[in-house]
Amino acid sequence: MKRVLFVCVENANRSQMAEAFAHLHGGDQVEALSAGSRPSGQINPKAVRFMAELGYDLTTHASTSLDDISGAFDAVITMGCGDNCPWVPARRREDWALPDPKHMDDDAYRAVRDEIGRRVHALLATL
């Protein structure tokens, strides 16, 4: 089983959607987690709504701190948090410089969601 961690600052939007896509695309072949360097404590309602459009229930997720994550990963993907994302042991590291969609309109938010989905699908195919 491959182990993947998605990291952003608040763990409320991008990393949550990436974790959801990893569950959708990877099934029981992937252990997917997400965390934030400064978690907001809640999942953005837009993320919940727009993942529900794809049949995924983000209300089962929690906004998690990187401090609560341990172990090594096959891949760690950061999402635009720069220096706020500390080093986590991984065989592969990537930074996906995706814009934070939290203040975007619905169409722009969906575009970021869909780009995350494409990138997660491609990532899992290469692990």
Q: How high is the pLDDT of residue 5?
A: 96
Catalytic residue among 4, 5, 7, 8: 8
Characterise 71 by phi-psi region: left (phi > 0), alpha (psi -120 to 50), beta (else): left
Catalytic residue at 10? no
Q: Which residues are CB-neighbours of 64 under 8 A, at least 6 positions away?
A: 11, 33, 34, 35, 36, 39
pLDDT digits (tens, 9 = 90+) for 26-71: 999 999 999 998 899 999 999 999 999 999 999 999 999 999 999 9
Torsional class of 88: left (φ above 0), alpha (ψ -120 to 50), beta (otherwise): beta
Give residue 126's identity as a one-letter amino acid code: T
Fold of 2-126: Rossmann fold (3.40.50)
- The answer to whether 80 is a known catalytic residue is no
The pLDDT of residue 82 is above 70: no
Ranges of each domain in the chain? 2-126
Share of the chain above pLDDT 90, in %: 81
Q: What is the pLDDT at residue 84?
A: 60
pLDDT at res. 126: 95
Q: Which of 32, 58, 81, 112 is catalytic?
A: 81
Measured CA to CA, the distance from residue 79 to residue 14 in angstroms comes to 7
Instruction: Inform me whether the pLDDT recorded for 81 exceeds 90.
Output: no
Query: Would the pLDDT of 83 be above 60?
Result: no
90 is catalytic: no
Q: From the candidates 85, 120, 123, 124, which is the catalytic residue?
A: 85
